[in-house]
Amino acid sequence: MINENNTIWFLLNDKTVRINFDQTNGLSPTTTVLQFLRNQPSTKGTKEGCAEGDCGACTVVLASLNKDNKLEFKAYDSCLLFLPMIHGKQLITVEYLKTKTAVHPVQQAMVDTDGSQCGYCTPGFIMSLFALYKSSNKPSREEIDDALTGNLCRCTGYRPIIEAAIKSCENTITDNTTINEEVVIELLKEIKQPKEIISILSDSQKYFKPNSIVDTLKLKFNYPTAIIVSGATDIALRVTKKHELLSEIIDISNVDELKQCSVKDEYFYFGSGLNLEDIRLKSKNILPALYKMLCVFGSRQIRNMATLGGNIANASPIGDMPPVLMAYNASVMLEGIYGKRELKINDFITGYRTTQLKPTEIISGIIIPKPEQNVIIQSYKISKRKDLDISTVSAAFSLKLNSNFTVNNIQMYYGGMAAMTKEPAQTKKFIIGKKWERETIEEAMKLIDQEFTPISDARSGAEARKIMAKNLLLKFWTDTINSQQ
């Protein structure tokens, strides 16, 4: 099928939708999927709550073809999805779940367990449960809790909703998606991303969706001020909350070369376009400190969109990834039309939301050396709530001890304590060579108090942040002692 440059195609439930941005009224490439659905006559079950990915009322499920041409079902916050991001996918809303004779098992379970009261949040919960239903048979309580983390309920309480998840996911049965699976697969193959770049151009906006890294680098060279998006979990807020007009965007979400993951003899490689949920699952047994941090990163809907490259490029002082990646001595692979270069992530981030990324470059991958067996690496995050919250203070530590329990080397990286992720250099210098014992830690905590001058903001006061930073070092010491014992 020949695709016009300014046209996107997708399935809305079981119907093919073609949007030509030259001919639509009021639609732009930065129109969100939520805005689109709310303007359709038969998809108003998808609700707007927060418009920033916090409440889950707008949750939808996207079905896409994997490398084996099988359907994968994942939950997303539709308020953060730009319309071109769903090109070549099936957009599933709550209206599609029922068959001609019955509601879907997850819907019936919500009825049976009294899991809904006012009902405003219920469609979002149903879609999160549906994604779980399609991807996990007999999920554990931990999996269920994680699947529902991105959905807020203000009146029912979560116990009956969790019961509904347990009841409905015990045995999956035939539903609309299985009945129509072969038809959907063939339709998605037909409208699969073409080789040419999708270019949506107007007087006020330029939106490009390349399919290869070569095309991406050419576009970045020709449009050096263009915003790179893949998941857009942060960039989308500039549209939904600040009502900005983003004039130039390069959407790299379809560049498969940026989604590669490999294990080498000396390191792990993650493509910058890999979503954080995939990285979380891949890192569980190989990079436990990274896995631990990703388990408290946003929600499953957010992690299905957010990418490792995006979190690093953002260079936020409270970003969750930089501290733990620094503790792992990770490097960032930068790429432009004139070649590649590799930088330690410590050197890559230079200040408050500033990096060494050149205007014509992109982050193509992250390299994490395999830790030595006798090195202990831990990560911690303090926030006002455990799940789906921004860090108040985060920290990651790497420790190597000598046989006599003196410190051979230690690395300590803190987020939320300065304008960028920072290591307390004097504290590190003080600890190296000393016994790894409580007396050493208590003295080091005094130095941490002197090395940081954090700010007070809505999340915490400066003094509280200092206390957290000191106590995280003490917690790390306690954890290492317990693990040694």
pLDDT tens for 391-421 read 999 999 999 999 999 999 999 999 999 999 9
pLDDT at 8 over 80: yes
User: Shortest CA distance to 156 belongs to which of 132, 125, 130, 129?
Assistant: 125
pLDDT score of 157: 87
Task: Give yes or no for a contact between 56 and 150, defined as CB atoms under 8 angstroms apart.
Answer: yes
CA distance 314 to 321: 10
Query: CA-to-CA distance for 256 and 58, rounded, in angstroms?
Result: 27
Q: Apex CA 155: angle with CA 153 and CA 160, to 5°?
A: 70
Report the DSSP pairing between strands 206-209 and 248-251.
parallel
Q: How many angstroms separate the Cα of 266 from the Cα of each of 87, 270, 366, 468?
A: 37, 14, 14, 34
Q: Report whether pLDDT(2) > 70.
A: no
Task: Return the pLDDT at 3.
Answer: 44
Cα distance between residue 267 and residue 199, in whole Å: 37
pLDDT at residue 179, as a whole number? 84
What's the average model confidence in pLDDT over 288-314?
97
Structure tokens at 209: 């969706």
* pLDDT over 70 (residue 202): yes
Residue 234 to residue 305: CA distance in whole angstroms:
10
- Angle at which helix 122-135 crosses helix 105-112, to 10 degrees, equals 130
Q: Which residues pair with 5 in a beta bridge?
A: none
What element of type H or E holds 482? helix 462-484
SS (H, E, C) 320-360: CHHHHHHHCCCEEEEEECCEEEEEEHHHHEEECCEECCCCC
Confidence class for position 221, pLDDT limits 50, 70, 90: very high
The amino acid present at 449, given as its one-letter code, is: D
Three-class secondary structure of residue 451 per DSSP? helix
Give me the mean pLDDT over the 47-57 stretch. 95
Beta bridge partners of 368: 268
What domains can be seen in the chain, in order of their start residue? 7-95+180-251 (3.10.20.30), 98-174 (1.10.150.120), 260-484 (3.30.465.10)
> What are the structure tokens assigned to 26, written together?
């009021």
In this prediction, residues 142-152 reach a mean pLDDT of 96
**What is the C-alpha separation between 279 and 314, in angstroms, rounded?**
18
Quick one: CA torsion of 26, 29, 31, 36, rounded to 10 degrees? 70
Instruction: Compute the CA torsion angle 240, 244, 250, 253 (nearest 10 deg).
Output: -10
Strand partners, 210: none
Longest CA–CA separation in the chain, Å: 74
Place 360 in a pLDDT band, splitting at 50, 70 and 90: very high
- Average pLDDT value over all residues in the chain: 94
**Residue carrying structure tokens 């900005």:** 244
State how far the Cα of 217 lies from the Cα of 223, in Å rounded to an integer.
Answer: 10
pLDDT given for residue 194 in this prediction: 61
Lowest mean per-residue pLDDT among 192-196, 230-234, 329-333, 440-444: 192-196
CB 333 within 8 A of CB 274: no
Task: Note the helical H segments in 48-121.
Answer: 105-112
pLDDT of 308 strictly over 90: yes
* Per-residue model confidence as pLDDT tens digits over 372-396: 999 999 999 999 999 999 999 999 9
1 has a pLDDT exceeding 80:
no
Order across the sheet with 227-229: list the strands. Answer: 198-201, 206-209, 248-251, 227-229
CB 291 within 8 Å of CB 283: yes
Strand ranges (E), 159-247: 198-201, 206-209, 227-229
Number of H helices, E strands in the chain: 18, 19
Q: Give helix 141-148 / helix 122-135 axis angle, nearest 10°.
A: 140
